[in-house]
Structure 1
Amino acid sequence: MSEFPDVAAVVVTLNGLPWLPQCLDSLGDTPTVVVDHGSTDGTIELVRDRYPHVTLIEQGNLGMGAGNNAGMRALQGRYWFLVNSDAWLTPGALAELVAFADTHPDAAVVGPRLLNTDGTLQKSVRADPTLWGLATEYFFLRKLAPNTRMLNPMYVGGFEHDEARSVDWVSGAALLVRSAATAETGLFDEAFFMFSEESDWQRRFRDAGWTVWFDPNADVVHVGGASHGGKLYVENLRGHLRWFAKHRGIRTARRAQRLLVTALRLRAIAYRGERGALYRDGVRFLSSGNVESLLS
């Protein structure tokens, strides 16, 4: 019998080694599904051999949201715990998240405190995107005063992640999700391949009257970027445009496109090597058509 019979865990993998074992070990006997998107590093074999109790789904890579959706459809529970393959629970963290959600019946999502592998804080609370927030990020303005809400609104500057708080959204690296809330909002919007899918989902929960909470008493260690290694920069940009088009309207999305082009052109001048090439790729993508065509 699982310690948390009302919780089902979902882990999406794409070459999840070497971190996946720590992730799955931390889940213990929690009913778990791994949705694999075409791993070639031994991930599938490891799950089959070492974790026979875990449900394994193999499918094409349709994006992070689609992978989580497949997992949520496969296993039912009062709560779903969605966790990246490069993240793992610390002792007692899942019990804390469930207890927190039980005492906050209006919470659709509860996010834990994220820690880097060296134990330092990994800031996970975010504010809804705005054009100003986008500007502070892409023109590096937040570097001038990272602890202020004025110049660091996207990362909620000044919040020390040391108290429970109702927030706009939390990082999708680890989320406890109330399944009943999805009856109103649906699951992830699979039009978001990767990046911005969690902020879209949590905005939809809040629009439906639910809340999103940060719980500082549950710790999850997160490596960060292990699955994509920073190679999906264009998808990150596309995610920004899709979010603005969906929640702020196409005119605002076009303004976001122009802002991003200007910022990345400046970055491409300032940086050489691989980083400069990444920014030039971003400029080429953003300049290759209008917002509608970039999202089609």
Structure 2
Amino acid sequence: MTDTAPRPEDFSGTGPDGRVAVVMITHNRRDEALLALDRLRELPERPHVVVVDNGSADGTADAIRGRHPWAELVASPVNLGAVGRNIGIDRVGTPYVAFCDDDTWWEPGSLRRAADALDAHPRLGVVTGRILVEPGSREDAINAELLHSPVEGPAWMPGPALGSFLAGASVVRRSAFRAVGGFSERLLLGGEEELLAADLATAGWELVHLPGVVVHHQASTVRDPHLRRRHGLRNTLWFIWLRRPLRAALRRTRDVVGSAPRDRVTALALLDAVRGAPWVLRERRPLPEHVERRFVALEESQRSSPARRYVS
């Protein structure tokens, strides 16, 4: 399927916007997925929504069919993790796609603002929004880091340049996403964005933070924080070994391992990472110098950030 070109009247004013679709992934969170779809249906942009159910065993797919037949459902028999987003993005033809988790929702008008920015800047690949934590609409700790990103971007950028992004709070250019292969099948879920962001930057795409694009996040109570930390730590190490030059890889490995709790979850994550070393070495492709500079610039904030701790 090729990207379609919506007519100007499709996205003028405050009515439906034909430029942006939404892809949501979910796994064993039936009630939260249903509520997320309630909110998506109320958006003034009226986006085409694709839900990828990652092998849920709690009746999520049937519940969506019954309550939200307007949404396009892909019921995977297995948990694909972030690759579910790749499946969803292949189902739409809009030039831009907003990702949505089952515990996040976009503020009305935000999808339109992201699409306006992507329209205005053809080399922009990803727009990452401002995250408000619910209940209470509190600023997420990561917002300050996004707003004061140390990454240098070109003068035309409409906001702070980023080195990576947060999938559940981002709108991507579909053609750019597909050109670099989307999310890696190896990483499943947890810190999977860093590798994709590096590959987008290597291909010449920019990533930006726009505070006027707002997403709300009410962290699910149905989650395994230890497994998420295990995967996140493993994936961070795999990214470092896959893309960072040797000296930087050694330095970042030391920092990441040194800052992780000394417990069973960390030990399992390290074991997982080492077991993946053969394929990592086969697929290793160090970043070009101009992209590596972005990740060097981020190292201090990664070391000191309260929002990036590998704890559970």
Q: 1:72 to 1:260 in 2, by over 3 A?
A: same
RMSD between superposed Cα atoms in Å: 2.9
Give the Cα–Cα distance (whole angstroms) in 1 for the partners of residues 120 and 256 of structure 2. Answer: 41
Are the equivalent residues in 1 in contact too, given 2:33–2:102 (CA < 8 A)? Answer: yes
Q: Which residue of 1 aligns with 2:173?
A: 178
Q: Please say if residues 35 and 68 of structure 1, whose CA atoms lie closer than 8 Å, have aligned partners that are also in contact.
A: yes
Secondary structure, aligned partner of 2:182: coil
Residue identity matched to 1:237: L
8 A Cα contact 2:30 2:63, kept in partner: no
Identity %: 25
Deviation digits for residues 34-62 of structure 1 (CA, Å, limit 9, x no counterpart): 11112233322221011111111111444
Paired residue type of 1:86: D
| 1:283 correspondence with 2:279 | no
Aligned to 1:66: 83
The equivalent residue for 1:26 is 39
User: Does the CA contact (< 8 Å) of 2:234 and 2:272 recur in 1?
Assistant: no
CA change 1:226–1:196 in 2 (3 A) is same
Cα displacement (A) at 1:168:
1.4
What is the CA-CA distance between 1:243 and the residue it aligns to? 0.5
Shift of 1:23: 2.1
Question: Cα distance, 1:222 vs. partner?
Answer: 0.9
Q: Secondary structure at the match of 1:115?
A: strand
Does residue 35 (structure 1) correspond to residue 52 (structure 2)? The answer is yes
1:29-178 aligned at under 5 Å gives the runs: 29-117=46-134, 118-124=136-142, 155=145, 164-178=159-173
1:4 aligns with 2:4: no
**Is contact 1:87-1:220 (8 Å) kept?**
yes
Correspondence 1:201-280 to 2 at 5 A: 201-224=196-219, 228-232=223-227, 233-249=229-245, 253=249, 256-257=252-253, 259-264=255-260, 267-268=261-262, 279-280=263-264
SS of equivalent to 1:19: helix
On the 8 A contact 2:132/2:216 being kept in 1, the answer is: yes
Is the partner of 2:232 in helix, strand or coil?
A: helix
One-letter code aligned to 1:248: R
Q: Which residue of 2 aligns with 1:132?
A: none
* TM-score of the aligned structures, taking structure 1 as reference length: 0.74
Amino acid at match of 1:8: A
1: CA distance, partners of 2:222 / 2:78:
12
Tell me, in whole angstroms, the C-alpha distance in 1 between the residues paired with 2:114 and 2:146: 22
Amino acid at match of 2:127: V
What CA distance in whole angstroms lies between the structure 2 residues aligned with 1:294 and 1:263? 25
Taking the aligned partners of 1:121 and 1:204, their CA distance within structure 2 comes to 29
Of 3, 26, 42, which residue of structure 2 is paired with 1:13? 26
Report the counterpart of residue 185 of structure 2 in structure 1. Answer: 190
1:106–1:210 contact (8 Å) kept in structure 2: yes
